Amino acid sequence: MSNSAEYKQLLQNNANWVEEKLATDPSYFEMLSQGQKPPFLYIGCSDSRLPIDVFTGSIPGQIFIHRNVANQVFLNDMNLLTVLEFAVKTLKVQHIIICGHYGCGGVEAAYTGTTLNMVENWTMNIRDIAMENKKELDAIPDLTERLNKLSELNVIRQLRQLCKTSVMHDAFRKNEYPKLHGWVLDISHGLIKELPIPIEEWKDYGLLPTSYEP
């Protein structure tokens, strides 16, 4: 299929989908257009293989989504912070999920030092995570498994970063905060792994309120 045909197919697929939806529920788009109240904010990787609504069987309106390379949380990223503020303060989401994945190109590039230009700057935090956990990672002989572990460590680090944002500080102070979750998606079989979060440790550090319950 040519590039032009692939593009036109996207529009045709959209028209087909609309027709199918209206055939089963004539009021579907009227209801959808009335507003959103998603219970979930999802922060994930930009990888094209990771449409989280497909993997979770979700429908439009259930998940508010922010994606970037290697699912990073930077305290000066106005794009992410704006999404976070809107999700927490306006939409009042009940859960925030940070999701990485095995086979992440950003994680691998950061670990192997093959990143270039802007990508190198963006993934520098992951290189820091690898250096801080060098002993643990070096003890894993298989490179793929080592990178998988780094992907997991990256998710936990980004959750920790999330707790440092002013948006979450305000939510914690008001005792009106969403639950936090760390996921890693294994593309090789499609299953999601939920990662343990060191909640008590983070409470001791002051990252989470003492009232926080998973």
From 45, 99, 127, 157, the catalytic residue: 45
Out of 99, 104, 127, 181, the active site residue is 104
Q: What's the rounded Cα separation, in Å, for the pair 109 and 126?
A: 10
From the candidates 25, 49, 138, 204, give the one annotated as an active-site residue: 49
CA nearest 180: which of 206, 166, 161?
A: 161
Clarify whether 163 is annotated catalytic. Answer: no
Please report where in the chains the tokens 């969403």 appear, as a residue.
178
Amino acid at 70: A
Is 118 exposed, middle or buried (CB count within 10 Å of its CB: 0-12, 13-18, 19+)?
exposed
Query: Which is catalytic among the residues 47, 66, 160, 163?
Result: 47
Q: Does 99 participate in catalysis according to the annotation?
A: no
Pick the catalytic residue: 66, 101, 157, 181? 101
Is 101 one of the annotated active-site residues of the chain?
Answer: yes
Strand partners, 184: 100, 193
CA 139 to chain centre: 28
Catalytic residue status for 49: yes
Catalytically active residues are 45, 47, 49, 101, 104
